[in-house]
Chain A
Amino acid sequence: MKRDPLLPLRDKLDAEKLSGGPKHWRSVEHKAGEVDIEVEFPSGTGPLTAVQRRDVLKLAGATFALAGAAGCIRRPEDEIVPYTHQPEHIIPGIANTFATAMPRSEGGLGLVATAFEGRPTKLDGNELHPSSLGASDVWAQAEILKLYDPDRARAPLSGGKAVTWADWDTFAKTHFAKYAGNGGTGLAFLLEHDEAPTVERVLAAALARLPNSKVFRFDPLFPANTHAGAAMAFGAGARVHHDLTKAKTVVALDSNFLVEGPEHLRLAKQWGLGRKSKNIDEARGMNRLYAVEGALTATGASADHRVRLSSAQASAFLRAVVGELAKANPAVNAAWGGPAPAGTEKMVAAVAKDLLAGGLVLVGERQPAAVHALAHAVNAALGAVASGAMRVTAVPETLPAGTVADLKTALDGKAVETLVILDVNAAYTAPGALGLAESLKKAQTLVHAGVMPDETSKLATWHLPLAHFLESWDDVRGWDGTAAVVQPLILPLHGARSRVSLLAQVGGADKTDDRALVEETWATLGGKAWRQALHDGVVAGTAHADNAAAVLNADGVGAAVASLTPPALSKDAVEVIFSYGHVLDGRLSNVHWNQELPDSMSKLAWDNALMVSPALAKELGIASGVYKNRYAADVVTVSVNGASVDVPTFVLPALGAYTAVIQRGYGKSTGEVAAGVGVDVAAIVPVDGRVAWGAKLTKTGKSVDLCSTQDHFAVPDPMNELTFAQMSGSQGDERMLHLGSRAIYRKNTLKLYEEKPNFAHEGDIPANLVVAGTAPHQPLKPLQPTKAFDYEGQQWGMVIDLTSCIGCNACTVACNAENNIPSVGREQTLLGRELHWMRIDRYFTGDVDDADALHMPMACAHCENAPCEPVCPVAATVHDEEGLNSMAYNRCIGTRYCANNCPFKVRRFNYLDFTVTGNVYRDPHQAERHETLKLQRNPNVTVRYRGVMEKCSYCTQRIEEAKVAAKRRGEDRKQLKDGAVTPACAQSCPTDAITFGNINDPTSRVHALKKSDRNYEMLSELNIRPRTTYLARVKNTNPEVG
């Protein structure tokens, strides 16, 4: 057994600090001291698959072939292939950026796409677009990989067989001519809800021609309750927008508004702005966030107070707050009030008091429309409209459309002969209770147009490859109505057609060219404004107008609220929440970046599982947990509403006691990446909701392994593993190192920050600490090396603000896209070999049942005293003159000593050739099909081969680009302006939690943050002097409940 280095100090140290196990814990098992993980390089490999055996033979063959060839080939012949007709604006080696936009269920998002020689490689947010403000999220970033997905259909499929577009045109001409004759009787369209102007216009024209045809809409991601709630409060067509810069207090009621839902990027940015501070004076103005939730979301983790209540009880909490508010503010209708859920009385009073001083209640999509309406009523009564914190706009009427349930009725009643589906995977995403897949088979002709072939296209008579939004002309409307034109960056890779064209074709229009149709929609703009709109990525002045006439329908709200009857929960009647994670409803399941991206909370990758609370797990005898290097999960049968499904369980601290959460989008049967990953839970999804109540969980006795990265790359625990404590033993009591406060993650409440502005540095080892030599004649030796560093010129550094980091993972995907980071697949992730340069560590503190979750982004910290450098036998990792810890891949021989010596555990090793043969697309026979993926790669970053170490480079390619650009202009490349270089992570961050720049430039933002009293070095006791430092988190807790 490892000797306890703290043994001589045990009795002197704060007993409480030591007895509770680690202060910040990664998993339930880590807290209990049971985790038995080889944190560095887990031993063992996966079983050799047949494919791998073939690889061995292939490699052996290649070795001989190369050995023979190397002798006679002088050098490989290479070609330069210039253009014949030079396209305008394309300079090989220089990236072009274009504004475009992405259609989304919750309103389109403006993006800026980067393209090299005509191939898009990266997507970022558009600063001019009101829903993005320059930020992007994991889903937007992932679209670039979806564009190049090798599984996309190369030709239309008729009855599963590849045919040509000419065949389709011939079929369409005769088939749809029939409907032109009968006014469209028997013809139906199924679309998503994205309010795109041209699609709406083309559809309206089709309906005018075919008045008897039907339109149905189905989109599991459409915020239907949010939409209906606004209509309930302010009348049909109303939409409510919030402005968090005008709210001191925000109450998130079962809402993950920072990461998902309409305008979440803007809301996150505004919320982050309200939390920025360099010192206590600025921190006093901080906003306060209360989260009331049963699921554990990123918003809950970011909140100052998290009230653990089930989704069912959320409405009761709000009603209790309303009752409290009514006492102080006569504008609030006391009739809407109600009793507080047990144990929340104090919190209700505190929330009400804060709201009275100016606040907003935001309600999540899971809550019924009545709760949304009630929140709008409360916000309005508290003067949010007057203060500008809330805005009511009028949304123009959309075409009348049926729901998916109506579609089923129509299909079953044989009222639909031909169903045209535009990129809706209804057979997979429709609630299982509906049994839509069976009904779809009843349509005589099922035409499915989709970017990816999917479960629905399997049932379809025709599958038509749909152009990705980066391949077609289109337009979108943001949630606030701002229109943006979708500009194609590339011609359709596989000859796909755009949705606008296809809709026009089946609707019988003469004109089907997508560009012409979009231009026609915006014909009123005129040439200059049109070009400006394309350039900016937004059409000026198209946001929905404020609805000045909006009057609160108090009676309607009152009646709806009164009818709410929250169900009671128990261990036999659990509430099951269906959430949409990184793969959404399955539309991004085949994007391996998102599959491999660990969930913000559970850190599950390549898997979905039923999250259960530790209390429920105990009651039901569920023993899922970490054993050795794997997460062994008990499989339970979830039975609800007469349907059941077997799912593995994951014990997640801080969940509501009887709340269970599971992500959708897994267990798909199509897609080389997605097929067979996780479990499809559609069977138990209720028809009209994201929550099922009254579920019963029964153990099946089976157990499976889950892929969770929560214990991967664990940073050594300063409490137990650092031997500096032994050294300090000789220093006497006054030299006592405050081990407890030398935490990796440092945080405090605003009140204690006020008392101790230096809290982030408590317990740091004094820089001049010396220890006596072992023999009397030896001089005092410094505990830490005193090598001096020269800070001349440009010195790069980064500060990550833990107060505003929301753990949304956007930085990780941005880093993947920018730095050509391959995914390693599920098997390799289980072995701890994922290659993400940027990871987000999630820690818990406190009691398992009511833990606080913390997020800490981790990437190479570019230590000045980098421990990785002296151990490299070939000097493959060395410092450069601007403070970067650079990594020369071509020098690396793969000893892995550096990763072993890295205390942050941020170095990644290519165990296999993950880029070509070892990635998630393993079948070598398909290698040619996978060529499309190469088009995504950033030409400015080396593609690494097997046996090479890699890590965050501070996006050195961007630094070099900026320096060369300065050089071209004749400016000093050693004095770049602040903001000239932004790494991919900082660029994508919705809350601007990551700041990068020259720490030597007194005018730079990063310099100012480094001077903040909250700025601390992680593991400063090792004297490694990391260039990435953190701003300790300040929680603005309410002293009355806090």
Chain B
Amino acid sequence: MAQIFPKWTNEIPRLSALFVGFAATFGTCAIWYWASPKHTDVGYAPTQPIPYSHQLHAGEYAVDCRYCHANVEKSAHAGVPPTQVCMNCHKQVKADSPLLEPLRKSWADGTLDKDGGPIRWKRIHKLPDYAYFNHSAHVALGTGENRAAIGCATCHGRIDQMVVVKQTQPLSMSWCLECHNNPAPNLRPVEELTNMSWKQDKAYAAKAKQIARSLDPPGRTVGVREPMLDPAGRPVLDEHGHPVIIQRPTAGCTGCHR
């Protein structure tokens, strides 16, 4: 009697094992890449209720970021401007533009129970509720000579070139920690906080390294292990004759998670 299955079918289990292996690897890599905030969140650019252009306001007219995001140096939240701030200019400028109709409506009857109410902007940069980011702790840090800032553009990108604002950085925990472990490349003088085009020159890069050493930012992932020294500078030995090692924990979770 002839064999029901030809001989090549013997390869099926082996091939399928290989396939499963490939599929699993591909699946892992795919999730690793496509499910990470680098892919899911970067580039997020929702349509806003008013087509406000940062390119026009922050870029062309060079309005300082803090004119609208006024609380960035005072509070955890940079703040989105109240209708009032928009109307400071738009009472005169483009006062009858149809695009600004929602703004005028909000200004005219700005109560929650009435139709107008506040303008409901779409949030672009969003952290999970258990992560407590504080703007004011980042726009000015260090003490005395080592005072420096992380510029707006570092995390938010070239806002001055965006007609529609989009997220340019993943805002993931590993992204935060990259900078917390090595803040030097992202430091800049406090005066250059809102300067979108500022770049570190060589002289400042050297200074930034020195500032970074003084910072000891929270959330550092690299712990400290060093031998304990007695007052005379000799290593302290334990009862086995081994040097006693000081273990300083990595900077903690509490800076951002409470």
Contacts and interface: CB of A to CB of B under 8 A. Distances in A.
Interface residues of B, number: 64
B76 interface: yes
6 contacts: A84-B118, A84-B119, A787-B244, A879-B249, A886-B253, A968-B73
Given A789-B246, A790-B246, 11 more contacts: A82-B79, A82-B121, A83-B83, A83-B84, A84-B83, A85-B83, A85-B110, A93-B76, A881-B250, A960-B132, A960-B254
Considering the complex of A and B, which 3 residue pairs feature the smallest CB-CB distances, nearest first?
A: A880-B252, A84-B110, A78-B123
B82 interface: yes
Contacts of B84: 83-86
A85 B251 CA distance: 41
Nearest to A879: B249
Given A879-B252, A889-B257, A968-B74, A79 B132 contact: no
Contacts of A780: 239
B74 A94 contact: yes
Contacts of A83: 82-84, 118
Given A80-B80, A84-B83, A84-B118, A786 B238 contact: yes
A882 interface: yes
Contacts of A967: 136-137, 140-141
Interface in A754-810: 770, 779-780, 782, 786-790, 792
A221 to B, nearest CB: 37
B82 A971 contact: no
Interface residues of A, number: 54
A93 B76 CA distance: 6
Contact of B239 (A94, A770, A788, A957): A770
Contact of B79 (A77, A91, A792, A953): A91
A970 interface: yes
Interface in A594-618: none
Contacts of B132: 940, 957, 960
Interface in B234-252: 236, 238-240, 244-252
Given A91-B79, A886-B257, A957-B258, A84 B122 contact: no
Contact of A79 (B106, B123, B143, B248): B123
Contacts of B76: 93, 964
A75 interface: yes
Nearest to B220: A881
Given A792-B248, A881-B248, A881-B249, A942 B129 contact: yes
A884 B254 contact: yes
A562 interface: no
A112 B247 CA distance: 42
Contact of B224 (A82, A86, A790, A940): A790
A162 B15 CA distance: 74
A782 B254 contact: no
Contacts, number: 168
A1017 to B, nearest CB: 20
A953 B254 CA distance: 9
Contact of A85 (B82, B228, B239, B257): B82
A566 B48 CA distance: 80
Interface in A919-978: 940-943, 953, 956-957, 959-960, 963-964, 967-968, 970-972, 974
A91 B254 contact: no
Chain A interface SS verdict (over half): loop
A890 B255 CA distance: 14
A652 to B, nearest CB: 39
Given A79-B123, A83-B83, A940-B258, A888 B244 contact: no
Contacts of B238: 786
Contacts of B71: 91-94
B216 interface: yes
B258 A953 contact: yes
Contacts of A782: 239
Given A779-B240, A788-B244, A92 B77 contact: yes
B237 to A, nearest CB: 11
A81 interface: yes
Nearest to B240: A779
Contacts of B140: 967-968, 970
A45 to B, nearest CB: 28
Contacts of B236: 788
B75 interface: yes
Interface string B135-149: 011001101100100
Interface in B85-127: 85, 106-107, 110-111, 116-123, 126
